[in-house]
Structure 1
């Protein structure tokens, strides 16, 4: 036991600090933090067990599964445990697959344990934390072995499919993971079993969605992609059909999300069929200006590497994702499905779920959050380390690095930049960097550890 503790001492120290920070959140912000009105849409769907039309409802299923607890704060505690689980996965994989010392693997897991914005995401009633856990778990299972066995490939792609019905940005991760299984030479059986597992999850959700909305899908809105194109679309170059000209942007341009909500947005002047018209406009804009579409998304993605976190699109705690000094009480405004926030939270736990800021715990956490997070340039360095590992042909880096890159670039390309979308990148980037720095050079990606021992024993016998 003593040697075990000594071997993992650095991780246990970081873990203890991470648990203490999460305790401050639980005691200081009760029962949870809310994001208007997305949090209440998820809660409403979890109460009625009906898929949302505007977004996938995997998180609502999560809330439904935890509903017997009848306690929103218990949901948040579970989310904090999942956050700690993400760090444990990064640490465990690095100790197994690399020659990193305990402190090195603990350092790679530290951003997950100690970043205040990770902790805030865990304390928020939103889908992002659950998505991050499922995505990291799926990737961790695949890189646990040089060649994942059939059951591991099946479990990993099953988890990534669950991540996809939580946030649709998980879909490219399934493609990346399937390609990894193929490249790792795990065998056709592993690939087929993994893809089949993902198909069962996605197909089952599509059937459920169809039962509620009359079409097969996972939920989503083409207006988000339209709002993204509004930041660069040039109708003189696009030559849109008359039915689309009402959606053309005017000067000055707004931030992409503002085109969804702003009263001056052309979208607010469109009547019936605006989803179809927005989708048609976005498709035309991308086909007419593909380079502008690509460069706009990439430019916004680079904001993740700035020293100060960019508050976007407008100032305020909701955009910055911080622990606030004060929280407004619930209003009588309809939150979702014809019910107010008070009605929804009362239906879930038997009492209103308004956030109460409790001192001194909240104040200590607010003081910590001034500096206690991973600065953008350090994230860039972590990603460059992973890229360097790939250049050095340490192929175990490929899967987590590709997944991190996809989660970094795709959201600002198809919707908008938001630091909430950057947080899931961090554990995958740290895993890739750890694999790059600590990979055992002698380990072939096609040879299992027990096989390597047999080869070494044979080589020793031949030279005796």
Structure 2
């Protein structure tokens, strides 16, 4: 009996794989994995190149690059309290990463966010293109890679991932919200809620994220009403979906405002937000036309600044020697925010056309072919990888930076530069960054493409689902446009503020280029590409 059993076990062990029980399912899984890898082989090469680039950058610059706001973020992370002058989303991330003992973990986390942002752009484009070209696997790959390359391989974005500021986290959260929003059409309510929640987290990371909920609501309407059988029921369903998104958006926003109120006794995101809006009006305010109240006359800006290194009137009105805030206790003085709020509304009310002109001018700076030293020469210099170890501008700031770095994780506050990797990365950034005219082309493609198709939208035989794709492209385009306009309308132009809009501009352009009617089916091809 024992010999029979052992003999059967030996035969089973040496039986060919195709004859074993369950081997068919295993072979099918391996075959499916092989097909999946083949479908994304081109993007895998791009992703490996992007990851290698970030490894070299981390070898050349193993520490974070500090800016004027970095100390505020680190101090808030050490005490886990809301900062008085900036939202607290980024300090919460720093607090979560603090047990890893050092800023190297922060560099790695922000690099992963950059890679995932490119992956999300590729996934959305590939998914939409695959539905239109189900039997041409290389076309979705090529279009998805073309859309993700400006995100994954851009030199300026690589440098942004090394800056100790909130922009990379903000860009990742916004792109995550758009990905959840556009993954299915029409949008399920749970997706709308997730998108609203992510947008709310982005808003408590940077205040410019607050108006983005309006873009999400518009996107839900555009993608929800373009489906087949649009009618009263679908309009009601779309309205409920918008309510779910807005409600989810308010959860992190309200929670953060309550946390802020518990520390400072007032509801908001910061204590001096009106000061920054005042700086926006300093570019055009004419007190001869505004006729401000006597107590507001002290805030009438003086132009031009005496320091030639300051190109921005906003920066001059807030930080230069000619700043009117010097006469009322500084920009963070006890009366500064209230006076600034009253002055800015008086200026906009008296000069609405000048305000819109300044906003349009500074928005268009994002499309200039070169990068001027704006807003100041030293601010613009911080957006390049340094040649050598960089210290703070003055000794007091250097000591404070060092103390904060040591308290955070025993790291040094001085930027570490390791050759030859730093030299390679610096040369890469100087040569391979998305120029302004290229961004302008990306923003124009959806406008031209969607406008051309709207003429054919109501023709008989036009597929309703295909029309819905225009809503997806317009949602991404509106989000990119909002990220370009809102900073110019609320603060000032800054090259760093442009970078979160680039992934969305690439996504909108790629979605516009996808045909709105599927390619004819070939015999034997799969009907469902997903």
TM-score over 0.5 (shorter chain): yes
1:190 aligned onto 2:253: no
Q: Which residue of 2 aligns with 1:457?
A: none
Contact 1:89 1:137 in 2 (8 A): yes
317 and 418 in structure 1: CA distance in 2 versus 1, 3 angstrom threshold: closer
Q: Report the TM-score when normalising by structure 1.
A: 0.91
Q: Which residue of 2 aligns with 1:225?
A: 277
CA distance in 2, matches of 1:153, 1:25: 37
Give the counterpart of 2:85 among 42, 54, 68. Answer: 54
**Alpha-carbon deviation of 1:255?**
2.3
1:382 aligned onto 2:442: yes
Q: Which residue of 1 aligns with 2:259?
A: 208
Give the counterpart of 2:202 among 163, 175, 181. Answer: 163
* SS of residue matched to 2:411: coil
Q: Which moved more, 1:241-250 or 1:316-325?
A: 316-325
1:133-174 deviation digits (Å, cap 9, x = unpaired)? 000110111111121111111111100000000001111111
**Alpha-carbon deviation of 1:328?**
2.7
Give the counterpart of 1:113 among 131, 152, 156. Answer: 152
Give the counterpart of 2:358 among 290, 296, 299. Answer: 296
1:94-147 deviation digits (Å, cap 9, x = unpaired)? 111224520111010000111111111111110000000000110111111121
Q: Which residue of 2 aligns with 1:5?
A: 37
Unaligned runs of 5+ in 2: 1-32, 133-138, 225-236, 306-311, 455-469, 520-526
Give the counterpart of 1:23 among 41, 55, 60. Answer: 55
1:436 aligned onto 2:512: yes
CA distance in 1, matches of 2:382, 2:73: 21
* SS of residue matched to 2:211: helix
Q: Which residue of 2 aligns with 1:446?
A: none
Unaligned runs of 5+ in 1: 444-452, 455-464
Q: Report the TM-score when normalising by structure 2.
A: 0.80
Q: Which residue of 2 aligns with 1:418?
A: 494
Larger Rg over CA atoms? 2
1:442-461 deviation digits (Å, cap 9, x = unpaired)? 59xxxxxxxxx79xxxxxxx
Give the counterpart of 1:275 among 324, 337, 354. Answer: 337
CA distance in 2, matches of 1:156, 1:120: 27
Matched residues, number: 441
CA distance in 1, matches of 2:303, 2:126: 54
91 and 349 in structure 1: CA distance in 2 versus 1, 3 angstrom threshold: same
CA distance in 2, matches of 1:106, 1:81: 18
Contact 2:113 2:172 in 1 (8 A): yes
**Alpha-carbon deviation of 1:251?**
3.3
Q: Which residue of 2 aligns with 1:373?
A: 433
Contact 1:91 1:105 in 2 (8 A): yes
Contact 2:59 2:418 in 1 (8 A): yes
Note the aligned Cα RMSD (angstroms).
Answer: 1.9
Contact 2:386 2:426 in 1 (8 A): yes
316 and 332 in structure 1: CA distance in 2 versus 1, 3 angstrom threshold: closer
Q: Which residue of 1 aligns with 2:64?
A: 32
**Alpha-carbon deviation of 1:310?**
2.3
